[in-house]
Amino acid sequence: MVTQVQIIQWIQVFASVIEHHKEELTELDAAIGDADHGINMDRGFKKVSNLLPSFVDKDISTIFRTVSMTLISSVGGASGPLYGTWFLRASSATAGKKELTEEDMLKFLQSGLDGVIERGKAQLGDKTMLDVLSPAVVAFEQAVNEGMGTVEALRVAVSAAEQGLQETIPMVAKKGRASYLGDRSVGHQDPGGTSAYFMLRSLLKVVDSQKKGGRG
Amino acid sequence: MKKLINQPEDFVKESLAGMAVAHADLIQVNYEPSFVYRTDAPVQGKVAIISGGGSGHEPMHVGFVGMGMLDAACPGEVFTSPTPDQMLAAAQQVDGGAGILYIVKNYSGDLMNFEMATELARSEGIRTLNIIIDDDVAVKDSLYTQGRRGVGTTVLAEKICGAAAEQGYNLQQLANLCRKVNLHGRSLGVALSSCTVPAKGTPTFALGDNEIELGIGIHGEPGRERVSMKSGDEITEILVRWLCPSQASLIDNIDYSRTVREWDEAQEGWVDVELLNKPLQKGDHILAYVNSMGGTPVSELYLVYRKLAEICEQEGLQIVRNLIGPYMTSLEMQGCSITLLKLDDEMLRLWDAPVKTASLRWGV
């Protein structure tokens, strides 16, 4: 079970990971895009961080919706609508919830992914965040179907995401500004995929540490 | 980095504040969310035209707000698309009851943000359509890329559609006109130097002392080819005629087809619309637009125009109007772009109609 408190912690951790890796994300983007991914994501998640205190008494869906609206109105570029849509769909999928079962988690991860596909019109292999999010959701679903709990399923999902991220390196970009590089985009890791990986890894970190704490 | 700025994060806001003071008779600036709008908006019964995009291309779009052109412009961060809340707030401010036309340049961020804004505005009962500008012939295919980028034709579409809106075109007529202008326009650019985004502080791309990038995008997206520096005439010749026959050029342009996503009012949803550009023909009347990327002086633009006019005459193209100057820049990048727009009687009449904005003004 993932609690509302953990969701807030996750967003807090993700925001600090973005801040910490701001330069790295921007450098990855400079290589094949327009050198603003870290700057834009950090601007958005700083705004989200300022709202954290107001999340305390809200349900998960409301938190996701607020995160979405904040990102949509402050990130800009392609990342704003894509992450904004991801959290907006996550909000719809978690209506009224204060905690999430494995099935709820799957529903929210799947809904977010579907939203990103509709908004961005990318396909697998286009060297985008989809190449990280999609294998993660597939792995999570399979793990849940095999009877794993949220923490174990997330661990499998994050390692699928990491592998997906590595696989963006040899891909030729077909979406966004990187697409104009054609073959010259080969050999570079996708910046949007990198931030998407950080997002899932942050979620695992929070949920996992909580569990260990519980055992101790 | 040497720039006349204070803090990089205040750059866009402080520049807008300067515009507001300088052109208080024409425009007002709203902050949080930021957009620039006509002082006399909303104009009742007139379709309102809104554009927007990353900052750093001034005077586009904020300098084109005023009578006969844009009703509002939404500036994003430098080279970053603005956000849907800006576009929605601008629409609410300038809607005169006849609907809103968003003119959108073909970049993934701009497309997605304007699509969300269209959905939001429509859900509030504001009739809104969006038309995409994609005229950069440097991009060879649309299947494996985002497609042609929106560049110089955007400025011309904003002028022509702005005039049509003043003359009472309805929303659907304006959308059709804007689509036509896009299909009649084509552009190609060259960079002689890179540019530096204030928040980053270092040049966007590296170009050797003796290198130029042909087919550059307005955010420093890679062009078609990097070659050694050449004379002004040679560069103009390459841009206009492109010497390799398999590659699209401004004059001997190949047919270009692609699909774009537009809102369909009958179906109440997004539909893919197939668009096809036709090559220019001998005898066509054209508007020739030579644009500075920011760092190239007007004197050099005229040198380019001189050669351009010579080539057009050889090719049997009749230049009936021109526009020369820095209207769509990429910060301090050195270089230029050439846009050729095939004019029909309707577009010519609308081009000549009065316009009164900070950066484009005639007939008033």
Rounded mean pLDDT, B237-250: 72
Mean pLDDT (chain B) is: 94
Q: Which residues, including other chains, have CB under 8 Å from residue A79's CB and lie 6 or more apart?
A: A37, A40, A41, A44, A192, A195, B109
Distance (Å, whole) CA A190 – CA A29: 8
Distance (Å, whole) CA A113 – CA A137: 8
| pLDDT for A182 | 86
Distance (Å, whole) CA B112 – CA B96: 25
DSSP B24: T
Rounded mean pLDDT, B8-17: 96
The Cα of B318 is separated from the nearest Cα of chain A by a number of Å equal to 33
**Rounded to 10 degrees, what is the CA torsion of B234, B238, B240, B243?**
130
A43, A81, A174 member nearest B145 (Cβ) = A174
- By annotation, the residues of B acting in catalysis are 57, 219
Q: Tally helices (H) and strands (E) across chain B.
A: 8, 17
Strands (E), B9-149: 27-30, 35-38, 48-55, 66-67, 72-78, 100-105, 128-133
A30 → chain B, closest CA residue: B204
Residue B304 has pLDDT above 90, yes or no: yes
* Domains of chain A and any CATH numbers: 2-209 (1.25.40.340)
| pLDDT for A211 | 61
Rounded mean pLDDT, B256-270: 92
A35, A73, A179 member nearest B83 (Cβ) = A73
Residue A130 three-state SS:
helix
Distance (Å, whole) CA A207 – CA A151: 6
The Cα of B83 is separated from the nearest Cα of chain A by a number of Å equal to 5
CATH numeric code, B9-183: 3.40.50.10440
Q: Are B189 and B151 in contact (CB under 8 A)?
A: yes
Rounded mean pLDDT, B303-322: 95
Distance (Å, whole) CA B253 – CA B47: 34
Residues of A with CB under 8 A from a CB of B: 26, 30, 34-36, 39-40, 43, 72-82, 84, 119-121, 172, 174-177, 179-182, 184
Strands (E), chain B: 27-30, 35-38, 48-55, 66-67, 72-78, 100-105, 128-133, 185-191, 211-214, 225-228, 256-264, 269-277, 285-292, 318-325, 335-342, 355-357, 361-362
Residue B246 has pLDDT above 70, yes or no: no
Chain A contact set for B221 (CB, 8 A): 34, 177, 180
Backbone angles phi, psi at B128, to 5 degrees: -140, 135
| pLDDT for B145 | 81
pLDDT, one tens digit per residue, over B55-65 is 999 999 999 99
Residue B306 has pLDDT above 90, yes or no: yes
Straight-line distance from the first to the last Cα atom of chain B, in angstroms, rounded to the nearest whole number: 40
Residue B126 has pLDDT above 70, yes or no: yes
| pLDDT for B328 | 98
Q: Are B358 and B68 in contact (CB under 8 A)?
A: no
Interface test with B, best of A116, A121, A179 (most B CBs within 10 A): A179
Distance (Å, whole) CA B316 – CA B313: 5
A66: closest CA among A1, A3, A114, A7?
A7
The Cα of A33 is separated from the nearest Cα of chain B by a number of Å equal to 8
Of residues B16 and B204, more confidence is placed in B16
Q: Are B130 and B49 in contact (CB under 8 A)?
A: no
| CB within 8 Å: B112 and A36 | no
Q: Is B225 on the interface with A (CB under 8 A)?
A: no
Tell me: cis bond preceding B61? Omega within 30 of 0 counts.
yes
| CB within 8 Å: A72 and B85 | yes
DSSP B280: -
A27 → chain B, closest CA residue: B200
- Burial code of B324-347, b = ≥16 C-beta within 10 A, e = fewer? bebbbbbbbbbbbbbbbbbbeeeb
Q: Which helix (H) or strand (E) holds B126?
A: none
B113 → chain A, closest CA residue: A81
Single-letter residue type at B341: L
Distance (Å, whole) CA B340 – CA B236: 13
Q: Is B42 on the interface with A (CB under 8 A)?
A: no
Q: Is B144 on the interface with A (CB under 8 A)?
A: yes
| pLDDT for B242 | 77
Chain A contact set for B139 (CB, 8 A): 180
| pLDDT for B83 | 95
pLDDT, one tens digit per residue, over B70-100 is 999 999 999 999 999 999 999 999 999 999 9
pLDDT, one tens digit per residue, over B327-363 is 999 999 999 999 999 999 999 999 999 999 999 999 9
A35, A77, A184 member nearest B222 (Cβ) = A184
| pLDDT for B222 | 80
* Complex ipTM over 0.85: no
Q: pLDDT tens, position by position, for chain A (216 residues)?
A: 999 999 999 999 999 999 999 999 999 998 888 788 999 999 999 999 999 999 999 999 999 999 999 999 999 889 999 999 999 999 999 999 999 999 999 999 999 999 999 999 999 999 999 999 999 999 999 999 999 999 999 999 999 999 999 999 999 999 988 888 888 899 999 999 999 999 999 999 999 986 654 443
Q: Which residues, including other chains, have CB under 8 Å from residue A60's CB and lie 6 or more apart?
A: A4, A7, A94, A97, A98, A99, A100
| CB within 8 Å: B200 and A80 | no
